[in-house]
A and B are shown apart, each in its own frame.
Chain A
Amino acid sequence: MYLHEAQAKALLAQHGIAVPKGHVAQTAEQAHGHAAALGGACAVKALIHAGGRGLAGGVRFAQAPDEAAQYARAMLGKALVTSQTRRDGEVVREVYIEAALHFETALYLSLIIDQRQAVPVLLASAEGGMEFEEKAVAAPAMVQKYPFGVDGSHNPAALAAFLEMLGVSDSHGAAVRGVIEAMLRSFLSNDASMIEINPLALMADGSAVAVDAKIVLDGNALFRHPEFERLRDTARSDECEMVAQANEINFVRMDGDIGLVVNGAGLGLATHDMVIAAGGRPANFMDIRTMATAEQIATGIGLLLNDPGVRVLLVNVHGGGMTTCDRISDALALACAQRERAVPVVFRVAGQNAEEARAAVAGLPMPCEVAGSMTEAVALAMEGG
């Protein structure tokens, strides 16, 4: 679960990290008022759930409230496309009006779990700022790693030496250590899977201020954090994806015309790869989870039947455990019975109860071609089913 900048900063401030004063605005008029309260000069930032805003025009600096309102008006209601959003971008519904800060140097700090060592690890660079990611990809050596214990334990002297090696001056060492320790506390107590501060401004008075921040919370740990439920922004989520999720189906909507009905993430990715390699365009990514009932799967198939862009359904299911192949044919029959629209189906099943499922789809009211292999199924779907 991705927290936008204002949410992330509020959480970090709770743990004692200094952030610039700022307010969320939903209209240009609110932006004007907030800018005036900050004294006129401010940053106007699009609140979206992705990074890369600075280079994409999602962060502007205003000298006066009128200018801030003008930038806010230009951003609000429009899709912002950055290197980290989907191709069609994310619609900006709120902007963050924040006191502008003057600083000479800045760090990049990111706390994540190291998958190999299974401990929290700090990624740090002395070259923080807007173009950090592009620079880091070109010169990975500019990013240094510092591992912590499972519970966040570490040796303060060793961390101080690490920061010195990174090039943090003595005058800022204590403040930066304080920020890192607060990031750790926030990471562990909130079940974060990433906390990134970039840039962390190093101020002339020796303090350190988080100018931008991103937090990703572990979606699997939300049962421990009911307080985050209100931060979930359902307005931004795709409705199909939410319906599918509620029905034990992982679903990602795409813009193609081949509707995919597949069980399991791996088989889903494999099917996706094969369709695209054959020159086809999937309408979606689907991964039916093992606990899904025929009714739930029918709901998932219904999402595709409701999409006028879907020209053919490609069913590729390997049955086993609770997801037997005949559960899929049952779901297909249910979905057909509930919908007016019929589209051709390419039906490819293997594994448990495959024979029964193939026999069952022969009686469906829509044209259904049975394919033997995945390769054959993809070819049939390309032809139109």
Chain B
Amino acid sequence: MGILIDGETRIIVQGMTGKAGTFYTQLAMDYAGGYVAGVTPGKGGTTHLGLPIFDTVTQAVGETGASASMVMAPAPVAASAMIEAIEAGIATIVCVTERVPVLDMIRVRDALNGSESALVGPNSQGVLIPQVRKIGVMSTADAMPGGIGIAARSASLTSEVVAQLSAAGLGQSATVGIGGDPVHGIGFAHCLALFRDDPATSAVVLIGELGGVEEEEAADFLAAEPYGKPVVALLVGRHAPEDRRMGHAGTVSVLGSGSIAQKSALLESAGARIAATPDDVVRVLAG
């Protein structure tokens, strides 16, 4: 049932006591539960939203048996929070925090090497197993349990696709926001591997964007061996404004543009079906 987390997963929140942390933790607790503690350095021994607060992740894990963490710590300390969770052996770390410096993220990736942790994010809407567990800030208004696995670079577009799938009677096994930052935790290829091995998942929808290397890595993964489940890719940014498209123009032109046309061609030749717009996903999935 789903990937990364399940109905037994116990969850802590790093940065629960802030404004956004409080708001979104309450929503997630109300949706499906599983939350057992918060971690805020200096606030150990207090309680918040009815949960005990610990100074460190290691203490929280020791007291509660948590295996997942939602990181909502502010950007300047988000990397330290992620590394603390990795060192405490948390299996699934979901970082929602936006605007984490990229040099911090390469330190986090270094800490992940050789660890047992899977990092989702940062700048991620999180992981949702409909009606089972929610770690993140995504909309749950239209989510329903089912067989479609979704991995996405965009939160709002995931909500849109989830709503359209549910309206067509197609529930979701899990939705994963891999985050919008250039250096992040697990990517499309990792999600594809998890969805392939998940018996509850019958088909996968990838929601990609221009730039970066996620779609290229997904195409490499799909091309390597038969996937066995339908994969639909929705890629946006074909007509993105120049400012977004051009970023580091000179070096980008050397590295390859990461254009939608290029990504789309690679994924299609690797066996994925391409949905031109969000309104096409259900039809292409029915294929």
Chain A contact residues, CB within 8 Å of chain B: 50-52, 83-84, 86-87, 110, 112-113, 115-116, 118-120, 123, 133, 136-137, 140, 143, 150, 188, 191, 193-194, 196, 198, 214, 216, 218, 220-221, 223-224, 252, 254, 262-270, 272-274, 276-277, 282, 285, 290-291, 318-322, 350-352, 373-375
Contacts and interface: CB of A to CB of B under 8 A. Distances in A.
Contacts of B253: 133, 136-137
A123 B279 contact: no
A218 B101 contact: yes
Contact of B102 (A220, A224, A267, A374): A220
A374 B250 contact: no
Contact of B141 (A188, A218, A282, A320): A320
Contact of A140 (B207, B240, B254): B254
Interface in B146-171: 152-160, 163
Contacts of A274: 277
A193 B110 contact: no
B239 A318 contact: no
Nearest to A125: B254
Contacts of B155: 264, 266, 320
Contacts of A351: 139, 141-142, 159-160, 163
A113 B250 contact: no
A273 B238 contact: yes
6 nearest A-B residue pairs (beta carbon): A266-B154, A320-B139, A264-B156, A266-B157, A118-B109, A221-B101
Contact of B240 (A87, A118, A269): A269
24 contacts: A51-B249, A87-B242, A115-B183, A118-B106, A118-B109, A118-B183, A140-B256, A216-B248, A220-B102, A221-B103, A223-B76, A224-B76, A262-B156, A267-B154, A269-B154, A269-B209, A269-B237, A269-B240, A270-B278, A318-B163, A320-B139, A321-B138, A322-B23, A375-B279
Contacts of A285: 240-241, 243-244
Contacts of A252: 241, 243-244
B194 interface: no
A350 to B, nearest CB: 5
Interface stretch (B2-10, B37-45, B56-64, B210-218): B210-218
B107 interface: yes
Given A220-B75, A269-B240, A112 B103 contact: no
B60 to A, nearest CB: 25
Contact of B209 (A216, A218, A265): A265
B136 to A, nearest CB: 9
For chain B, give the interface size range. Answer: 35 or more
Nearest to B180: A265
B236 interface: yes
Given A52-B249, A113-B106, A133-B254, 15 more contacts: A51-B249, A188-B103, A193-B102, A220-B100, A220-B101, A220-B102, A224-B76, A224-B101, A267-B157, A273-B237, A274-B277, A276-B238, A285-B244, A320-B138, A320-B155
B240 A272 contact: yes
A143 B255 CA distance: 9
A49 B57 CA distance: 44
A56 B271 CA distance: 42
Contacts of A263: 156
A110 B251 contact: yes
B141 A110 contact: no
Contacts of A120: 106
B106 A266 contact: no
Contacts of A352: 139, 141
Given A196-B251, A266-B154, A320 B159 contact: yes
Interface string B186-214: 00000000000000000000010110110
B70 interface: no
A218 B213 CA distance: 19
B278 A264 contact: no
A373 B281 CA distance: 13
Contacts of A191: 101-103
